[in-house]
Chain A
C-alpha cells in the first residue's frame, strides 16, 4: 500500500505510513458504529 501511494501520488514512504495509520484510526472510529 505504501508503494502504491508512492507510485501513484508521489508521497514519501514515511508520510504514506502516517497517512495510512491515520486513515485506519478514523476507520476504526467509524466502524465501531456498525459492529
Chain B
C-alpha cells in the first residue's frame, strides 16, 4: 500500500480526490487526514483502484455532450454496472476483478462521445424517441453492447452468459423509461424530453 501511495502522490489531482474522500463525512473521522499513506490505507485497495481507473476517464469525456444528456445519471449507471461486474468477478474469477470493473465502466463510454459528435442527430432522435425506440435500441444493442460482451467474457474466461448480464435491458424498459435498467441509453437523457422538445444545437 505504501508503494501505491508513493505512485499516487505524483498526480496532484488524485491526491486531492483521495484526501477529500477520506476526510468526507462518509468516513466519519474525528481528525483530518493529510498523509497519502494514511489515506490510501483507509480507503483500501479496491476503492482506490476504482478511483484511479475512473478519474482519467471522467476527465476526457465531455460534461454536456448533447442537449438533454444527464451526466449524473450516466455515471451512476456506469458505476453500478462496473461495481456489479467486479463483485461477480470476485465470485467467479477473482484474479479478473479489476479488468471486469474496467470493462463495466467503459462499456458505454462511446455514448457521450457519440452524443457530442452527433449532438444534432441525438436531439432530433430524442424528440421522436418514443416512436423509434425499438429500432434505436436494436442499433445501440448491436453497436455498443451485446455483440462484444460475450466475446470479452470468453477472452477473460468468465463462465456462461454472465457478461451479457451486465447489459440486459429490463422487460419493461419501453413501458417505464424512468426505471433504472441495464443499458437503455436514453436513461441518461431527461425524461421530461418526452413531453418537452430538446433544443437542437445549431450546426
Which secondary structure characterizes the binding site on chain A? helix
Number of residues of chain B lying within 8 A (CB) of chain A: 33
Whether a CB of chain A sits under 8 angstroms from the CB of B145 is no
Rounded to whole angstroms, the CA-CA distance of A22 and B47 in the bound complex is 13
- B50-103 residues with Cβ-Cβ distance < 8 A to A are 50-51, 54-55, 58, 71-72, 75-76, 79-80, 82-84, 86-88, 91-92
Tally of A-B Cβ pairs under 8 angstroms: 76
Rounded to whole angstroms, the CA-CA distance of A5 and B18 in the bound complex is 33
Among B58, B72, B83, B161, the residue within 8 A (CB) of A26 is: B83
Whether a CB of chain A sits under 8 angstroms from the CB of B165 is yes
Q: Which A residues contact B (CB, under 8 angstroms)?
A: 1, 4-5, 7-9, 11, 19-20, 22-24, 26-35
Q: Which B residues contact A (CB, under 8 angstroms)?
A: 17, 21, 24, 26, 47, 50-51, 54-55, 58, 71-72, 75-76, 79-80, 82-84, 86-88, 91-92, 159-162, 164-165, 168, 170, 182
Interface pairs A-B: 7 shortest CB-CB: A27-B79, A23-B84, A23-B83, A26-B83, A8-B165, A27-B80, A8-B161
